[in-house]
Structure 1
Amino acid sequence: MSRSTATRCKLPIGIQTFREIREDGHYYVDKTGQVLDLIESGKHYFLSRPRRFGKSLLLDTFKALFEGQQALFTGLAAETRWDWTRHHPVIRIDFGGGVLQTRSELDRRIDEILLDVQRELGITDLPGYTSLTGRFAELIRQAHAKFGAPAVVLVDEYDKPILDNITDRDTATAMREGLRNLYSVLKGADAHLKFVFITGVSKFSKVSLFSGLNNLTDITLDAPYSALCGYTDEDLDTVFAPELPGLDRDEIRRWYNGYNWGGTSVYNPFDVLLLFRSREFRPYWFETGTPTFLIKLLTERHWFTPDLAQTVATETLLSAFDVDMIESEALLFQAGYLTIDSVWVIPGRREFTLKYPNKEVQASLNDSLLRTLTGGARYSERQVSRLYRLLQAQDVSALRELFHAFFASIPHDWYRNSPIAQYEGYWASVFYSHFAALGLDITLEDTTNHGRIDMAVMFGAAVWIFEFKVVELVPEGQALAQIQARGYADKYRSRSGPIHLVGVEFSKAGRNIVGFASETLPGGLTASLP
């Protein structure tokens, strides 16, 4: 789908699917200029991006350039900037296909990959080398000698054998050691290498996986390359303009834009293609890989789900990912469920505020979380749909009945057997995830000049202001009183619609809502203050 790729049809993801609706021509999103900038400015690179973002076709672009496939770049930035007399042997290693479950399977797969590359380069024999590391090193040396030019090594899905086994610590560790054994060759073979580019979903530390490869430049959070994979707003408004009629442009942005790695925000290309084919807004990306392990990890750690929309993390924390240390923030960010909202920089340190990238991720992730928080889809899915209808009707009293009946419907055995139901934030997490699963405009810890609102929800012209309390910790009747006393509604007085003030009180002992007091105020500048 991008002219940045090295395939003749120049479409980066879902090529055949998209061509079904655009057989009269191709779209071109030219990013070969950025690709050449990387080649000209460095030698060893690492890039982490979520799945389905076009990493594999980015490597195809590098491969085609170094192999001198000039015809593929007609009309692109690379056509006039690249020296097409240059040819380098390319060693492409791809762990994207299949699931490897043991170290021996990994070793066999590496052996197959090396044999395929050997045949492709026309290198007939690697005499005297039986170990995988020895064969890999000799393959690089012979490729340099045969072609009279140093080799290019491209590694795709470098971490997949580890991630596929991340719930089995012993197997994941064995996979990590096998891959470190392979990647360690790159340091010793540097004299025979022209360029190295490694991509994957996660960002394992150099110490754990790239021991000794100290000159590997990580461009994951480099602002100039934030849009290296994915489409920008400009791309949609120009390149894909013929596909926009009949689709709500703002809704496309809300659903699929928002991924950011410190620079320009981008759309998930997989989503955009399927939207243009089906003309229907759906969570296409999320549906291709439900994050079961992530959901399990968040619930085991009693993660307060409202914090997902306002997580703060240092750059060090976002990079702290390994078999023995999986930080929740790092996993959420690297897998694409959270992205950068803002950056705070002080000398020698960067701190990131993270958020959901878009409506697709917010709604889908919270829907999955809600099923776990409440014991299964049978207790949550109908609830979310009914919540939407009640918000449309602005039926405040029915909301109490909805949530009271919902908490009452959760089996006692699930409360007894689920550790997550025992922590204080559980009740607010369940309440919040209902609204977030609808993809609504939600502001948490909404700052006013008198304090912070627990949760504000914008739905149509109406504003819903919620305050949560647990009666075992705070006397009953305090939730609504706090909203009123602190004038939380004041900042929304200029809006035309009504302002619903709702104080929600939970009881751990009663496992339900025990207080649900509300007041509705008119909107508009002329409304009198309470």
Structure 2
Amino acid sequence: MKNLPLSINTLSKIIEKNCIYVDKTKMAYQLICQPGAFFLSRPRRFGKSLFIDTLKEIFEGNQELFKGLYIHDKWNWSQKYPVIVIDFAGAVLKNRKDLDNRIRKIIRSNEQQLNLEPSLDIDIPGLFEDLIMNSAKKYNQKAVVLVDEYDKPILDNIDNSKVAAEMREGLKNLYSVLKAQDAHLQFVFMTGVTKFSKVSLFSGVNQLTDITLNENYSTICGYTHEDVDNQFSEYLNNVDSNRLMYWYNGYKWLGNTPVYNPYDILLFIHNKMSYRAYWFETGNPTFLVKLFQKNRYFLPSLENLVVTEEIIDSFEVEKINPLTLLFQSGYLTIKRTFTRRQRLMFQLKIPNFEVKIALHDHFINAYTDLVNEKIELQDNLYDCLEQGDVVGMVQVIKRLFASIPWRNFTNNDIADYEGYYASVLYAFFSSLDAEIIPEDITNHGQVDMTVKLGNHVYVMEIKVMDQDNINIIDTNNKMDALNPLENPDHNPALKQIQEKGYAEKYRGIKGITVHEVGLVFSKKLRNLLRN
């Protein structure tokens, strides 16, 4: 049985330590058969660094490492190229000075690796130009430049747009050399998590071919289910493959074949087949969640996102679209593509169960501050949903909003909007793995949210009322006897559900119990009206 390549990003070590290697050299061969410059964006922990190292070993002519792999009898191993590797993974840089010092160190390290005489201490573009030209001259072959984590200095400072912009300019200062040195370059490959527009970062490298959404390279990183079956079968012999796919599979970049994050599979096996959020725990989406809060994003919309390529393609640090970052960071993936008005459209989805529950737990923490109380509320809410206990469910919802600290509403009017309450409820229901249909459409309009769990369907409408409207209800309907849960005369949300017939399309389905739930919140109380 071969060993697991845990935390190994170098091909030579994988081969030497008799570790499992999922062969990606067929796609590597397709890329390198002709000169070119390519760009690939993939989320963290997807095997980008290992692919970069594989390219390095190919271009350096280390044929022995590739015995038994696709490329072994196809590549001309007699041709060896000087390879320049630029990798920003090893440090967290917090200002432009640190970035420039790091770039100089990387250039000097490459000079030593290639046995070149050190260049004079000139500016960074000059140093990089000398490195490329001198390596091509010494080895009488055009140089290969491989860039890993090209965007990390920006992403490490993404919560500070000023510093992030400074980092972007520093990197642009480096990468712009690639266009000017095209005559001395055989191959360029850049990879990272995000894609910044050509105008902001790649204006000097506009010859780059982006293969991020190229169907031919959709599985260039990650493990397909076939890879897992073939390479890890001895480890996964008694594992329910459907459950494994449900938890960890589902990432897609065009093409029809979804992939696993390798980190999940390796840690799942290493931890004795324990289902946990391994990949999710390696990153912190706090900045992303803050973006959603700041923009007052309607969280239920995550269930049915349709966007243009412009949205998922690139972004700027001065104006970040949270959906763009959510997609590029791996929290959303492509469900399907279609054409509308002659434009390619993308329907997005959360890739799998791991990301779904973990992401919504983070949303709950950010929107409510209920880190400690969350589990009990989730358990109680799940029990009520599963048992069809609407009265109990409403009581849990009331406890939920009563537990949110008052400071969350200081100096803001977020509790005045229906979207806030819908977003909190959506995050809770989604964290229970319930099926959510936001803005569920009927022939008479749309209800705010339909929630399905087990044999029960809950059709929910949400209303937020100010004090004047509450007083009107109090005067006209004797609010001391008010039961908004059951009486549509006293519950405008429930009344709308019934008058519009929102629940009718679910009635008559065998084995399904349908519940109409009108939730009326008070702006003043920041909670449900009494019930």
Q: TM-score, normalised by structure 1?
A: 0.88
Query: Quick one: structure 1 residues 291 and 475, their matched pair in 2 at CA, closer, same or farther if it must change by over 3 Å?
Result: farther
- What SS does the corresponding residue of 1:135 show, helix, strand or coil? helix
The more displaced of 361-370 and 377-386 is 377-386
Q: Check if 1:63 corresponds to 2:76.
A: no
Quote the Cα distance in structure 2 between the aligned partners of 1:495 and 1:95: 57
The yes-or-no answer on 1:434 pairing with 2:434 is: no
The one-letter amino acid of 1:232's match is T
CA gap 1:216/1:348 in 2 versus in 1, 3 angstroms: farther
Distance 1:446 1:245, change over 3 A: farther
Question: What is the letter of the counterpart of residue 73 of structure 2?
Answer: T
Distance, in Å, in 1 between the alignment partners of 2:519 and 2:18 is: 56
Within the candidate set 215, 222, 236, 1:223 is matched to: 215
Whole-angstrom CA distance in 2 between matches of 1:475 and 1:72: 76
SS in 2 for 1:47: strand
Q: Which moved more, 1:410-419 or 1:211-220?
A: 410-419
2:254 aligns with: 262
TM-superposed deviation, 1:492: 6.6
The equivalent position to 2:229 in structure 1, one of 237, 252, 257, is: 237
Deviation of the 1:186 alpha carbon = 0.4
Once residues 437 and 37 of structure 1 are traced to their aligned partners in structure 2, the CA distance between those partners, rounded to angstroms, is: 41
Alpha-carbon distance between aligned partners in 2 of 1:416 and 1:327, rounded to the nearest angstrom: 26
Amino acid at match of 1:498: T
> Partner of 2:511 in structure 1?
496
Stretch of structure 1 that moved more, 362-371 or 420-429 = 420-429
Q: Residues 2-23 of structure 1: CA distance to partner in whole angstroms, max 9, x if unpaired? A: xxxxxxx89665349xxxxxx9
**Secondary structure, in 3 states, of the residue corresponding to 2:92?**
coil
The farther-off stretch of 478-487 and 54-63 is 478-487
Offset at residue 337 of structure 1 (A): 1.1
Q: What does the per-residue CA deviation read over 1:317-338, in whole Å, with 9 as the maximum and x for residues that have no partner?
A: 2234112121111111111111
| TM superposition shift of 1:83 | 1.2
Partner of 2:112: 119
Letter in 1 for 2:419: G
Decide whether aligned partners of structure 1 residues 475 and 86 sit closer, same or farther in structure 2, where only a CA change above 3 A counts. Answer: farther
**CA deviation digits over 1:75-118, x for unaligned, max 9?**
11111221111210100000011211111111111111111111
Q: Structure 1 residues 80, 379: CA separation in 2 closer, same or farther (over 3 Å shift)? A: same
Deviation of 1:423 after TM superposition, in Å, equals 2.9
Per-residue deviation, residues 190-237 of structure 1 (Å, max 9, x unmatched): 111000000111100111111232210111111221111111122223
In structure 2, the CA distance between the partners of 1:421 and 1:107, relative to structure 1 (3 Å rule), is: same
TM-fit CA distance, 1:26: 4.2
Aligned pair in 2 of structure 1 residues 382, 70: CA closer, same or farther (>3 Å)? same
Percent identity, aligned pairs only, is 47
2:195 maps to 203
Unaligned runs of 5+ in 1: 1-8, 17-22, 517-530
Which residue in 1 is equivalent to 2:178?
186
Match of 1:283 in 2: 277
User: Is 2:241 the counterpart of 1:249?
Assistant: yes
- CA–CA separation in structure 2 for the residues paired with 1:427 and 1:347: 35
Q: Which residue of 1 aligns with 2:13?
A: none
The DSSP-based 3-state class of the residue aligned with 1:371 is helix
**Alpha-carbon spacing, 1:14–1:420, altered in 2? closer, same or farther (3 Å):** farther
The answer to whether the 8 A contact 2:521-2:529 is kept is yes
- Which residue identity does 1:81 align to in structure 2? K
Distance in 1 separating the partners of 2:408 and 2:27:
52
Is the 1:371–1:379 contact (alpha carbons within 8 Å) kept by the matching residues of 2? no
Question: How far off its partner does 1:515 sit?
Answer: 7.4
Q: Quick one: which amino acid aligns to residue 508 of structure 1? A: K
Match of 1:78, SS state, is: coil
Q: Work out which of the residue numbers 36, 42, 46 in structure 2 matches 1:53.
A: 46
SS in 2 for 1:38: helix
What is the deviation of 1:483?
A: 4.3
| Mapped partners of 2:331, 2:301: distance in 1 | 13
What is the CA–CA distance in structure 2 between the aligned matches of 1:466 and 1:97, rounded to whole Å? 49
Give the corresponding residue for 1:479: 493
Residues 264-306 of structure 1: CA deviation (Å, up to 9, x unaligned):
2211111111111211111111111111111111111111111
Q: Partner residue of 1:507?
A: 522
Give the alignment of 1:305-320 within 5 angstroms.
Answer: 305-320=299-314
Tell me how far apart the structure 2 counterparts of residues 419 and 149 of structure 1 sit (CA, whole Å): 64
Which moves more between the two structures, 163-172 or 44-53? 163-172
User: Given the superposition, is the C-alpha separation of residues 444 and 124 from structure 1 closer, same or farther in structure 2, using an over 3 Å criterion?
Assistant: same
> Do the aligned partners of residues 432 and 457 (structure 1) sit closer, same or farther apart at CA in structure 2, a change above 3 Å counting?
same
Secondary structure in 1 aligned to 2:72? helix
SS of equivalent to 1:391? helix
Q: Which runs of 5+ in 2 are unaligned?
A: 10-15, 470-487
Trace 1:45-444 onto structure 2 (pairs within 5 A).
Answer: 45-126=38-119, 128=120, 130-263=122-255, 264-278=257-271, 279-346=273-340, 349-444=343-438
Secondary structure, in 3 states, of the residue corresponding to 2:33?
A: helix
Deviations 1:413-451 (A, max 9, x none): 332344533433001111111111223333333445555
SS in 1 for 2:323: helix
Q: Deviations over 1:366-393 (max 9, x none)?
A: 1111112113413534312322233344
Determine the C-alpha separation between the residues in 2 that align with 1:166 and 1:269: 26
CA–CA distance in structure 1, aligned partners of residues 71 and 490 of structure 2: 68
What is the TM-score normalised by the length of structure 2? 0.88
Shift of 1:252: 1.5
State the distance in 1 between where 2:413 and 2:216 align: 44
- Residue 104 of structure 2 aligns to a residue whose secondary structure is helix
- Residue number among 20, 28, 36 corresponding to 1:35 in the alignment: 28
